[in-house]
Chain A
């Protein structure tokens, strides 16, 4: 498997097949004398911005500090062992509702969408 080609930027779905972001980044664990292994998948705009450049990352971090929730100040990590299947999408064993990934969408739903009657 070629990580950059086959894993990065693929669609992630949770165990109910709900789309829950893309593989924005990968975390490799290094141990001396051993092959590096993938330990986590990173999801979030900070990781994406970091891929574009340092300046983009600083900008996104500043915006997050100003407007974002407390727990969204660092990218969200999912342990690699949660991966159940790699096909068209990468299926994870967790439920997206148990993670903070789409807290902003939940916020949107409560604050805005319910009020204009689309929930």
Chain B
């Protein structure tokens, strides 16, 4: 019974980790520009993130190491420093985008510009972490995050053409705007396969003292949680295709167009729901990313870490998230467009994937870490495919960033 509760909470938490400003913005963009056609990128990304999250959880449960700890231990500090620097910088950008998302919700709710909400949003994120009762807050925010299911209801109400939707699961070539199409595909994959998500997940498994008895729970949480998240993101894409496109919006040039996703279905009440969804989803993600930043640095250098420690018990750990949140709030307060930053950082995330995922293929086959729970052939093939996909994305996103974005 206790485990069942843990599993349901785990699922809810991973839905919270999946849906954030990145997946909302990229799905909405893709739906507006290409209808259902880019659905395949979302499906592919979701399959990849399920595989990686399951491996992270299995690795932590069996080896009692977080992924970051193990990368340093297995490959040495000189290799570790590369993913460390890249992930820390990307985390900062994505954290800024999430704080921007919370700030946008503030603007939609009050009419006062998001720049003015950036610092208060940063303070809220920091206070929730600083007070050191994150375990409780994490679950609270995750439960509130269920409000995002409203996107699924809206999509169902609009009644998409199911056969066409099913056909979009298979990748197809674009009829127009080729570079934009591939840029959006890369951004969707970057938003879905977020390194912070599986790194965070392995730290959570250590914090919750998982052992081998959790392996099936891990599978359930990874599978069901990520599918749930994928369905919500797909709903955003469907709504954008059925609402924004017919209204003549083929490109989201202005973030003010985003609330249309729900207002067109639910009217004024839709605005309230959109604000709540955006605020909660981005707040949850901001908390996770700030914490992941602190996990990464503390684990890399062997400092004390833990989400329920008071700052006095883990000063270095607390310093990292404090500085990260401060640095991330500044660009938003200065008026950088949250939507532009989101699209930019999602594409960069996609380009960084080979570096963060390459270690998996070694770690998941190292018996000194995972004992008899090494990857099967299918698992290894999946990781290799994700790395190959990451390499392609790394090569194509940079030029596409210049021409398509």
Binding site for B on A (CB under 8 A): 4, 8-12, 18-22, 24, 48, 51-52, 88, 102, 104-106, 108-109, 112-114, 116, 118-119
Contacts and interface: CB of A to CB of B under 8 A. Distances in A.
Given A11-B302, A19-B302, A51-B78, A119 B310 contact: yes
Contacts of B73: 9-11
B64 interface: yes
What 9 A-B pairs come out closest when comparing CB atoms? A118-B311, A119-B312, A22-B302, A105-B315, A21-B302, A108-B315, A88-B64, A19-B304, A9-B73
B301 interface: yes
Interface string B385-400: 0000000000000000
Contact of B132 (A19, A114, A118): A118
B312 A114 contact: yes
Contacts of A20: 302
B58 interface: no
Contacts of A88: 63-65
Nearest to A10: B73
B319 interface: yes
Given A11-B302, A88-B65, A118-B318, A52 B81 contact: yes
A106 B301 CA distance: 16
Interface string B60-102: 0001110001001100111011000000000000000000000
B76 A11 contact: no
Nearest to A18: B304
Contacts of B65: 88
Centre residue among A9, A52, A109 by max chain B CB count within 10 A = A9
A25 B311 CA distance: 29
A19 B72 contact: no
A7 to B, nearest CB: 10
A24 B326 CA distance: 30
Interface string B110-142: 000000000000000000001010000000000
Contacts of A10: 73
B61 to A, nearest CB: 13
Nearest to B75: A9
A52 B311 contact: no
Given A11-B73, A21-B301, A88-B65, 13 more contacts: A12-B302, A18-B304, A19-B304, A88-B63, A102-B303, A105-B303, A106-B315, A112-B315, A113-B312, A116-B130, A118-B132, A118-B310, A118-B312
